[in-house]
Amino acid sequence: MIWSRKSARLPGYDYSRQGAYFITVCVQHRECLLGGIVHGEMHLNQAGIAVARWWKEIERKFPSVKIDEYYVVMPNHFHGIVFISEPSDARRQLGDHGEDLAAAALKKQGYKILERNYVTPLGEIDLIAREGRTLVIIEVKTRKSTRFGSPQEAVSATKQAKLRRLADYYMKDKHLIDTPVRFDVVAITLSDAGPQIEIIASAF
């Protein structure tokens, strides 16, 4: 039997934004690998103990994330509450540095930068530019390594949908009618050898 259920996620919501989130993580195939129930009490095995220990390490690894005291490890799943705060200064500096690099690289390619960090009630657009007659909405992703995937992989379907809504807002705000628009991603990986910058035109 294949287990399936309706997603509890709110369509179009950016789950990286500030707020408190109740999370549930299930073991693959819902196998009871984290311990067992004995006389109505949960007894963790070594895997379950490791899950609990690494849960408490989240705050060390991610400064903008705090954990609630409440969490529970069950035989085949885990519950906890996380609080995502505003990005730390280090993350802001990384993002600003990436946007500086992206803007410079785009200008070299003939883009005309119109806006930077354009704020709307719906969210923020990193860069807005023109290339010829085309309005270009640009998402900049900067990473220090590819350990957790390439920068462009972070532009999820949810993020793409949000950028489309932001583009609609900008075009209405600026009274742009019949203007061709496209979405680019600038992926930046920082390394000792220097930044690697990839401009992905018409990324989605």
**Burial (0-12, 13-18, 19+ Cβ within 10 Å), 184:** buried
Task: Write down the pLDDT at residue 88.
Answer: 59
The kind and range of the H/E element at 191 are none
pLDDT at 42: 94
Rounded to 5 degrees, φ, ψ at 10 are -80, 120
Q: In this model, does residue 36 exceed pLDDT 90?
A: yes
For residues 80 and 142, membership in a common domain is answered with no
Whether residue 62 is found in the same domain as residue 26:
yes
Domain that holds residue 73: 19-84
Q: Is the pTM of this model over 0.75?
A: no
Q: What is the mean pLDDT of the chain?
A: 89
Q: Are residues 93 and 76 in the same domain?
A: no
The CATH number of the domain holding residue 144 is 3.40.1350.10
> Do 179 and 136 reside in the same domain of the chain?
yes
C-alpha 196/C-alpha 190 separation (Å) is 6
Please tell me whether residues 32 and 117 are part of one structural domain: no
pLDDT per position as a tens digit, 130-174: 999 999 999 999 998 887 788 999 899 989 999 999 999 999 999
Q: What total number of domains does the chain contain?
A: 2
56, pLDDT greater than 60? yes
